Structure 1
C-alpha cells in the first residue's frame, strides 16, 4: 500500500509544476482512463456492498445439466477437454 501512496504523491507533485492548462489535460486524461475501465459494484438497497454470491444469486442452480460442485469432483477436473 505504501508504494501506491508514494506513487500518488509523486504524481501530485509533478502535476503541481504544470500550467493550469496542462493540469486540465491531465485531469481529462485521468477521466478518460476511468471511463475505459469502470469499476462495477453491486450494492444492496441500503447501499452496502454485495458479495459475488449475492450478486449472482439468481443464477445459482439455474443449469440443470453438467457436473455438480467441481471442488469435490477432482477426477472431473483432470479429464481432457472435449473437442
Structure 2
C-alpha cells in the first residue's frame, strides 16, 4: 500500500512542476487511459455474453437421439424395482 501512496505522491510532485498547459495534457492523457480501460471492460463483457449458452442450446444435437422405452419410467414399476438392489 505504501508503494501506491509513494507512486501517487511522485506523480503529484511531477505534475506540480509542469506548466498549466502541460498539466492539461496530463489530464487529457488520464481521461484517455480511463476511456481505453472502459472500452476494454465493455469488450470483455460482450465476449462473456456471447459465450453464455443455455443448456438446451448446448445439448440440442442430442435431443431425441435416444428412442424407445416408456416416456415415463413410473409406468413400468417392475423395471424400477431392479435398480433398488
TM-score (norm 1): 0.48
If you compute each CA radius of gyration, which structure gives the higher value, 1 or 2?
2
